[in-house]
Structure 1
Amino acid sequence: MPCTTILIGKAASYDGSTIIARNEDSPNGQFEPKRMEVVHPSEQPSTYTSTASHFSFKLPPNPMRYTAVPDAVLGHGIWAAAGFNEANVAMSATETITSNERVLGADPLVEYEPAEGVEGEPGYVPARRGGLGEEDFVTITLPYITSAREGVERLGALLEEFGTYEMNGIAFSDVNEIWWLETVGGHHWIARRVPDDAYVTMPNQLGIDRFDLDDAEGERREFMASADLRSWMAEHHLDLTLNGGGSAFNPREAFGSHSDADHVYNTPRAWYMQRCLNPSESWDGPDAALTPESDDIPWCRVPERKLTIEDVKYVLSAHYQGTPFDCYGWKGTRESRGAYRPIGINRTGQLAVLQLRPDVPAQNAAVQWMAFGSNPFNALFPLYGNVEGLPEYLCNTTARVTSESFYWANRLIAALADARFHDSSAAVESYQQKMGALGHQILRETDASLADAGASEVPARLAAANERMVAALKRATDDLLAKVLYTTSCAMGNGFSMSDNER
């Protein structure tokens, strides 16, 4: 699924939090309605059945409660997307990534193949199950892990056993660490710990650009991988490092892609995010060190200042502002303004920013910042993650279009505001700032109120804070919808300046 991810280590964030965030974008021409839910242990299946892959397997006993952002329309899997479990471990899955023919030939993807013919008759070929994929990962992993590292280990073992039918990148975090896992072919995988002082940008292509096999096979301090990765690479001549390479190699060169499509769809997004977060470097003109089509944009780098929740929202809403590539801008030409795939695209279903804060008790450390719909037109707001349930406004999405659903209200706002982007921008920006400021205020006030709360009181106070946030969010969203509807209605093509004085 086309998406964009950013990961921020604890020493690179404004308050020492680990932060993982991802836009969940549907394929071109599709708009997938999303909702939120809290999944309780009693609701977690003991046997998991994959919709796309047509196979079932047993899940461990005693799952934990967790939050999720599943698809709202049933029939093609859960796609739980992002959430926290009650052990304060976060997971975001997945970022669809790229590969190359050498890798896929050496370890083919495990794709479902339907039966051929009629059972019992000559020539019948039974169906072959597929592997795991994005629809499955959160549901079969998040309820069973107590650290980010454990998340890599569990999902890695499942990939080796069952395989996958697609290339994906998956993020795990706890209050101390962030790990990024990338699938490699049908059964292999690699994972790297995000440096504490760095951020990572991921735009739909295999990203890790440095790997230490000795560490992955030994202490696993910074790197992990499937057990036979070294011998498999050697057998199939996958390491492209000159002069023998040794323990260290570049996975992006070995396992990834550098296609023409990458240069219009993927690399420009990494370029723009890093342009925003390291602005003093040379990004533009003939002397730029990196361009939107560079194949060597770093997987991670140290920012020029500590990064905030607002920085995450800005870069994941971006449409190349300030450059000739801005689809809403005036610079460049008509061709340049449509040259590259925006980060804040029309088909985003949801953005989840998963923050684990080190300076508050564990019971209120997990904050799931959320936005639904196209990011240039929506607002990011916080929810406490350690709760038994979530407000109805966020959970009631169905296939029916209604402004009483937060998802659909945002889709309506985006479609209307896009048509009159510059006329609507002031109202949208005011809404975004108001909701963000209120979110920080509610977190501050609720955190303070918990100082004298007994353990039994905490869940109710967290739920009350979420309800307060969402009640204000609904009022503000309804108000913005009315404003952009008015603005776009006034610009309709069948308008006429002369009117009667009376109705």
Structure 2
Amino acid sequence: MPCTTILVGKKASFDGSTIVARNEDSSNGEFCPKRFVSVDPAGKTSYTSVISHLTVPLPQGGVRYTAMPNADLKEGLWEEAGFNARNVGMSATETLTTNERVLAADPLVRYDATTGTPGGIGEEDMVTLVLPYATSARDGVLRLGALLERYGTYEMNGIAFSDVDEIWWLETVGGHHWIARRVPDDCYVTMPNQLGIDSFDLDDAYGEKHCHLCSPDLREWVAANHLDLSLDGQLNPRDAFGSHSDSDHVYNTPRAWAIQRFLSPTAGPWDRALPAEDFGPECD
């Protein structure tokens, strides 16, 4: 199966655990061997990425964490997933797709070999830069968000954070912007390679921040670049920031449909013909 994430809230799991899982695919059929390691960040003062040639200073106070780095480090660590000593988990990442309007408003930050200008952070770097220092799932979101705002990113990604009580899902939007939403405790989420957040409460993100977090200038940036496609004032990030290609309907959405059909067989008329088309494998 292509790269797919599932997020399960504590009231949706059998034993009350929060569950985050993701498989890592290979689009060209090559297998990338991984290792399981325990990392002590003590004494590390900076980190330099291989792909984007970016050096980021590291704070003190990081705790030991587990990770799944590449066995061959020619493209960097790619630590991918793990838990830290505070029982905070992080998975990086689910590759997402966007649209030209977003990239024009906030271009991706790629390494320029001609000038030597560093790029932003990406899947190679995120666990290394965030997980040792996160005190909770929410804190992990905020730390990664701050890094994205400062350094930018060269790709679109979705990142899961979990602790004993909460799961948060963060999606990068363009080069420097991001949104994140807490998974409701009584819900589960299936996430293929496309932006998945389809509703977002900006008032909460700018107010109490109970279930929504975002870049501090997101509302103004969306308005200035006319990115909100809704006509009712309710921001749908998938419509505003996501791709709208045929491949979404044949490559991405069917995976989410298949998993939901398996886990929630009575939730909808999965296998019926019209007029139950809203439950078909190619529907949004």
TM-score, length basis structure 2: 0.96
**2:257 aligned partner:** 271
Matched, 1:91 2:117: no
Instruction: Give 1:252's aligned residue.
Output: 238
Matched residue, 1:224: 213
**Cα distance, 1:231 vs structure 2:** 0.4
Q: Once the two structures are superposed, what CA deviation does each residue of 1:175-221 show, in whole Å capped at 9, x if it has no partner?
A: 01000000000000000000000000100100001100010011100
1:17 corresponds to 2:17:
yes
| Alpha-carbon distance in structure 1 between the residues aligned to 2:80 and 2:240 | 28
Q: In the alignment, is residue 51 of structure 1 matched against residue 38 of structure 2?
A: no
Identity %: 67
Q: Give deviations 1:360-384, integer Å, cap 9, x for gaps.
A: xxxxxxxxxxxxxxxxxxxxxxxxx
Question: Offset at 1:34?
Answer: 1.0
Q: Determine the structure 2 residue equivalent to 1:496.
A: none
Residue 282 (structure 1) shift: 0.6
Does 2:273 align with 1:286?
A: yes
CA distance in 2, matches of 1:211, 1:55: 32
Distance 1:158 1:74 in 2: 23
* Residue type of the alignment partner of 2:5: T
Deviations 1:123-168 (A, max 9, x none): xxx2221100000000000000110000000000000000000000
- One-letter code aligned to 1:102: R
Structure 2 runs not aligned, ≥5 long = none
CA distance in 2, matches of 1:194, 1:32: 30
**Per-residue deviation at 1:30?**
2.3
Q: Post-superposition shift, 1:258?
A: 2.3
**CA distance in structure 2 between the partners assigned to 1:235 and 1:257 by the alignment:** 20
Alpha-carbon separation, structure 1, partners of 2:224 and 2:30: 40
Count of matched residue pairs: 280
Matches of 2:48 and 2:251 in 1, distance apart? 33
Distance 2:25 2:37 in 1: 19
- Counterpart contact for 2:97–2:156, Cα < 8 Å: yes
Indicate yes or no: 2:206 matched with 1:202.
no
Cα distance in structure 1, aligned partners of 2:177 and 2:30: 30
**What is the match of residue 133 of structure 1?**
122
Q: In structure 1, what is the Cα distance between the partners aligned to 2:107 and 2:224?
A: 15
Please give the alpha-carbon distance, in whole angstroms, between the structure 2 residues aligned to 1:235 and 1:30: 43
Determine the C-alpha separation between the residues in 2 that align with 1:109 and 1:274: 33
Aligned AA (2:35): R
CA distance in 1, matches of 2:75, 2:116: 19
Residue identity opposite 1:214 in structure 2: D
SS in 2 for 1:266: helix
Equivalent residue of 1:249, what SS?
coil
Name the counterpart of 1:8: 8
Contact 2:54 2:121 (C-alpha < 8 Å) held by counterparts: no
Q: Does 1:75 align with 2:61?
A: no
* CA distance in structure 2 between the partners assigned to 1:45 and 1:152 by the alignment: 22
Q: How does 1:317-332 map to 2 (within 5 A)?
A: none
Determine which structure has the larger helix proportion and give its number: 1
**Matching residue of 1:373:** none
SS of match in other structure, 2:259: helix
The answer to whether structure 1 residue 27 and structure 2 residue 16 are counterparts is: no
What displacement does 1:46 show? 1.8
Q: What is the root-mean-square deviation in Å for CA atoms of aligned residues? A: 1.1
Query: 1:286 Cα deviation (Å)?
Result: 1.4
**Residue type of the partner of 2:11?**
A
Cα distance, 1:292 vs structure 2: 1.4
SS in 2 for 1:284: coil
TM-score between the two structures when normalised by the length of structure 1: 0.55
Equivalent in the alignment of 2:140: 151
Which position in structure 2 is the counterpart of 1:61?
A: 60
Q: Does 1:175 align with 2:164?
A: yes
**Amino acid of the residue matched to residue 286 of structure 1?**
A
Q: Which amino acid aligns with 1:285?
A: R
Shift of 1:26: 2.2
